[in-house]
Structure 1
Amino acid sequence: MGGSQPALPKPEVHPGGSPSQPGEVKGRSPILAPFLRARGLPDPPPGLFWGARGTLWAGSPRLRPAPPLPRGYKRAARGRNFLNFKGLFNSPHLLPPPALEPSPGWVLGDTGPPSPPPPPRVHKPCFVCSDRSSGYHYGVSSCEGCKGFFRRSIQKNMVYTCHRERNCQIDKVTRNRCQFCRLQKCFQVGMSKEAVRNDRKRKKEVKEDLGGDELSPELAELVRRVSRAHQETFPSLGQLGKYTTNSSADHRVQLDLGLWDKFSELATKCIIKIVEFAKRLPGFTGLSMADQITLLKAACLDILMLRICTRYTPEQDTMTFSDGLTLTRTQMHNAGFGPLTDLVFAFAGQLLPLQLDDTETGLLSAICLICGDRMELEQPRRVERLQEPLLEALRVYARRRRPRQPQRFPQMLLKITDLRGISTKGAERAITLRTEIPGPMPPLIREMLENPEIFTEVGGDATPPPPEPPAAQDSPPGPPKSP
């Protein structure tokens, strides 16, 4: 190894191609390499890259042809993936990555000068005493003091007396001197008795409705852990530094390869974060490894779609990814979504009225993932028992957060059905996309799409995509695929 690169052991290539160590050198996978560079580890030498299970492979994991390899070495590569879900689960190096930054040269368009600061808020005066109003209360603009005075007077049927001529001046300074004249002025400016009575009745009804909806200590802890798992693997829109690109922003094309490369890179990182989210869910890692992988492969596309749709900005009709990249509807189409684009944006628009917070999104993602009706589960009943407290936690949390909207919880569950339909369309889109891109699908995306369940959710007659033929120049050798 020449240049300034650190000396590394020379790979041993065994004649006949030993499947376990074809030129093995301790290292990390190409997807985890950025995380390790942030911790001071070097980049691999030119012409090499880090493979799974700590192996150093010749060539590029995606586009650059590999140099000639011995015959046995090529044979060992056939039919083997270099990164898979099982490898992610077993990896002790699956750590939270540093803040993602856009690649140099990626920002092709400037976002323009910063927007001017918003104008100062103008507060209306209280119609009763001319103090600063806090909003409309009982039909008129009023301050907190006059609102509370009027409410107490009506609820307690208070009778006041004026010691002067019943025409006292009521303002910010004198409002407490004569309660009789203050109440009369409340009526004069339009405050409504009925509004107070109706408000009291509504609060009583809400209190009665919530009588049995208390979060037990166990459910409260579950909500806390799921919410934290979601927040630590999926930054909110407000935490991201948005950036844009001018690439194919004006009109739709079949596929923009630059956008596709960026999207596939971000999608792979998102899959890794979803695996991390799953491993943090209470009870999930207690399932068998086979069931964990089955659930992840079945729900990964659902959660990907849910996450990106929660970052929809309707004013600009854009979606924002986890590194801050913000794409328009046209750019999403050109990045690979194609005919799926309008369906995804429509679903994002349907989520807006629900006003999901991070906790609700995390619980909904966990319910999508831990679902006992998935095909090929070894212990479906155990998965169902794990899902039941998640459903109850979402029901109670949503009810307490929006007590006057009891329909929100069933509406959220209906979104899971919508997500499965979109995932089926997404898998079908991936089949056509494979004929448009130069080279193979990224391995984690390909493995996710090999799940047969997403092809049988709706139609039931479709078949999963055939495995791509291995080629030494396109995909490197790696560990055996998980069963």
Structure 2
Amino acid sequence: PLAVEPSPGQVLGDTGPPSPPPPPRVHKPCFVCSDRSSGYHYGVSSCEGCKGFFRRSIQKNMVYTCHRERNCQIDKVTRNRCQFCRLQKCFQVGMSKEAVQNDRKKRKKEVKEDLGEDELSPELAELVRRVSRAHQETFPSLGQLGKYTTNSSADHRVQLDLGLWDKFSELATKCIIKIVEFAKRLPGFTGLSMADQITLLKAACLDILMLRICTRYTPEQDTMTFSDGLTLTRTQMHNAGFGPLTDLVFAFAGQLLPLQLDDTETGLLSAICLI
């Protein structure tokens, strides 16, 4: 006799009708923007975009400004238009600032345990503290800057693009001065000969400058914020004379985001670049 294959959903030996297919999975909406939720993050159901936005805003102590009436609609389409109202919406629906801070501490602890790190000696801890302070005193965080944007109207754009390179040159000079100041604050640097100090700074200055710029990347707006608070889009930087270098800088900034570097880590990376 021929063997009879059971139909899908039918148990062998069961002569009844096949089981109905399972109901389609219902995805909960993000409480902030109503996009599809990826789970519960920082206390509420939210999408990956709002989760990342809230985490970065808290970790970097961001201060946003609303250019309207502080009641902008936040949904899947408009969520990137006003960071102030988006952050307020995050708090309104119940996202927890403490949960972000605890999550970061937990991950750092897990990494430390995985690596089998020992506690820092008092001497090394003091060295790290001095490097961190040198960085903080020569490079304000993104949240400390009064961000401003350029006029993007068509009749102003040509004049803007022509003047941006001069603006960049001025900012770069100020940034280089701050990098030199950072180096001089590092333990042992001023003990080197002047020739060695100059050689190290020449070799590392561009690397540190790029690292510092990239820590001021805002992914929601795809913008960079410079030391005086000037905030530019990718297109504006490209038109100002950066050309193909623009995409490389933005790509590097995007790669840094998952690391969630704090001031101490950025300062230590800068010191490594220098030596």
TM-score scaled to structure 1, two decimals? 0.34
1:169 alignment partner in structure 2: 73
Equivalent runs, 1:362-441 vs 2, <5 Å: 362-369=267-274
Instruction: For 2:76 and 2:67, locate their aligned partners in 1 and report how far apart those are by CA, in whole Å.
Output: 20
- What are structure 1's unaligned runs of at least 5 residues? 1-96, 370-483
Structure 1 vs Structure 2: percent identity of aligned residues? 98
Map Cα deviations across residues 6-44 of structure 1 (whole Å, 9 max, x no partner). xxxxxxxxxxxxxxxxxxxxxxxxxxxxxxxxxxxxxxx
Distance 1:327 1:213, change over 3 A: same
Match of 2:232, SS? strand
Instruction: For 2:15 and 2:235, locate their aligned partners in 1 and report how far apart those are by CA, in whole Å.
Output: 17
> Contact between 2:7 and 2:18, CA under 8 Å: does it hold in 1?
no
> Contact between 1:309 and 1:345, CA under 8 Å: does it hold in 2?
yes
Match of 1:255, SS? helix
Instruction: For 1:99 and 1:319, locate their aligned partners in 2 and report how far apart those are by CA, in whole Å.
Output: 68
Match of 1:136, SS? strand
> Contact between 1:111 and 1:243, CA under 8 Å: does it hold in 2?
no
Map Cα deviations across residues 199-224 of structure 1 (whole Å, 9 max, x no partner). 99999987864654211111110110
1:147 alignment partner in structure 2: 51
Map Cα deviations across residues 328-352 of structure 1 (whole Å, 9 max, x no partner). 1111112221121111111111111
- Higher relative contact order, chain-length normalized (CA < 8 Å, sep 6+): 1
Structure 1 residue 231 and structure 2 residue 136: aligned? yes
1:125 alignment partner in structure 2: 29
Match of 1:260, SS? helix
User: Which stretch of the first structure deviates more once superposed, 100-109 or 260-269?
Assistant: 100-109
User: Which stretch of the first structure deviates more once superposed, 200-209 or 106-115?
Assistant: 106-115
Q: CA RMSD in A?
A: 25.7
Instruction: For 1:358 and 1:101, locate their aligned partners in 2 and report how far apart those are by CA, in whole Å.
Output: 65
Map Cα deviations across residues 246-272 of structure 1 (whole Å, 9 max, x no partner). 258899989932111111111100000
Q: Which runs of 4+ in 1 moved over 3 A?
A: 97-212, 247-255
Distance 1:264 1:247, change over 3 A: farther
Q: Which structure's residues are more often helix, by fraction?
A: 2
Instruction: For 1:116 and 1:308, locate their aligned partners in 2 and report how far apart those are by CA, in whole Å.
Output: 57
Shift in Å, 1:156: 40
2:103 alignment partner in structure 1: 199
Instruction: For 2:141 and 2:13, locate their aligned partners in 1 and report how far apart those are by CA, in whole Å.
Output: 24
1:262 alignment partner in structure 2: 167
TM-score scaled to structure 2, two decimals? 0.58
Match of 1:251, SS? helix
Distance 1:240 1:98, change over 3 A: farther
Shift in Å, 1:364: 0.2
User: Which stretch of the first structure deviates more once superposed, 257-266 or 239-248?
Assistant: 239-248
Shift in Å, 1:178: 49
> Contact between 1:108 and 1:244, CA under 8 Å: does it hold in 2?
no
Instruction: For 2:184 and 2:99, locate their aligned partners in 1 and report how far apart those are by CA, in whole Å.
Output: 51
Instruction: For 1:109 and 1:296, locate their aligned partners in 2 and report how far apart those are by CA, in whole Å.
Output: 80
Instruction: For 1:255 and 1:177, locate their aligned partners in 2 and report how far apart those are by CA, in whole Å.
Output: 22
Task: Find the partner of 2:253 among 335, 338, 348.
Answer: 348
Distance 1:312 1:105, change over 3 A: farther
> Contact between 2:70 and 2:85, CA under 8 Å: does it hold in 1?
yes
Distance 1:338 1:218, change over 3 A: same
> Contact between 1:253 and 1:334, CA under 8 Å: does it hold in 2?
no
Distance 1:140 1:268, change over 3 A: closer
Distance 1:320 1:127, change over 3 A: closer
